[in-house]
Amino acid sequence: MSSTLSPQTREKLKGVSTATLASALFKKGLRNQMIQGSVPLSPPKGGSMVGVAYTLRYMPAREDLNPMTVFRNHSHPQRKAVEECPEGAVLVIDSRKDPRAASLGGILATRLMRRGCAGIVTDGGFRDVAEIGALDMPSYQARPSAPTNLTLHQAIDINVPIGCGDAPVFPGDVVVGDMDGVIIIPAEIADEIADEAVEMTAYEDFVIERVRNGEKTLGLYPPTDERNLELFAAWRKERGR
């Protein structure tokens, strides 16, 4: 597991949503950290997907360089990435937003899960989605895609900075995913953002409880009415948050 993500921060991030993180990043002037268009194959279990980004870059496939036999080469970047993506990391694939051929299939996804990876994300598509969606590891894609990646993609680089769904992803960044999709937290502010998101989440949980009870949002969200801050303080105390 990469040293940039402490167990504490990982745990905190499991309990917050990508929406809250997007707001925390927005306050820091970061507006494009959401991977646009990638959705989960199945609902993540046990909290949000959290892991350090391990990246794989695809370029358009040239036919003569991409016969089926390339996979016999043990250093083929796609196969190498699957065997080297660290435990607890998320494999993030730059498929140039092209889901017409697969980024990856069921066998490699199963291997990643077995190796203890935290998830897989592509801005293209997966093949064998029924199989991948049933794994005990979250995965995100634009839409299913059966053709082998060789049809349109050539894996060319491992662990370099990439774009994924129009978001910048640097190796070591922290990747968080939930039902809304996947967001990238720059490594250097991951702890700080996690802390802020935990605080924001506490207030949002307080708000949603009150809204469910019939409270109006004006004055409460955000807390322009001071009394709400007092009530929130009491609420936190009561719940030990």
Cβ-based nearer residue to a copy of itself, 12 or 153:
153
- 233: contact with a copy of itself by CB under 8 A: no
Site string for a copy of itself, 119-158 (x = CB under 8 A): --------xxxxx-----------xxxxxx-xx--x-xx-
Cβ-based nearer residue to a copy of itself, 154 or 159:
154
- 227: contact with a copy of itself by CB under 8 A: no
- The answer for 152, left when phi > 0, alpha when psi is -120 to 50, beta otherwise, is alpha
* Among the residue ranges 7-15, 190-198, 212-220, 232-240, the one whose residues contact a copy of itself (CB under 8 A): 212-220
Provide the CA 204 distance to its chain's centre, in angstroms: 21
In the range 84-123, which residues lie near a copy of itself by CB under 8 A? 96, 98, 100, 102, 105-108, 110-111, 114
Residue 170: CA count within 13 A, CB half-sphere = 8
Cβ-based nearer residue to a copy of itself, 52 or 129:
129
Cβ-based nearer residue to a copy of itself, 7 or 236:
236
In what helix (H) or strand (E) does residue 108 lie, and over which residues does it extend? Answer: helix 106-114
In the range 151-210, which residues lie near a copy of itself by CB under 8 A? 151, 154, 156-157, 160-163, 166-168, 178-181, 183, 186, 204, 207-208
Tell me the CA distances in angstroms from 200 to 9, 30, 43, 60, 196, one per residue in order.
15, 17, 23, 42, 6
- 63: contact with a copy of itself by CB under 8 A: yes
Q: Strands, E, within the chain: which ranges?
A: 34-35, 39-40, 49-60, 89-94, 102-104, 119-122, 125-126, 139-141, 153-158, 162-164, 167-169, 174-178, 181-185
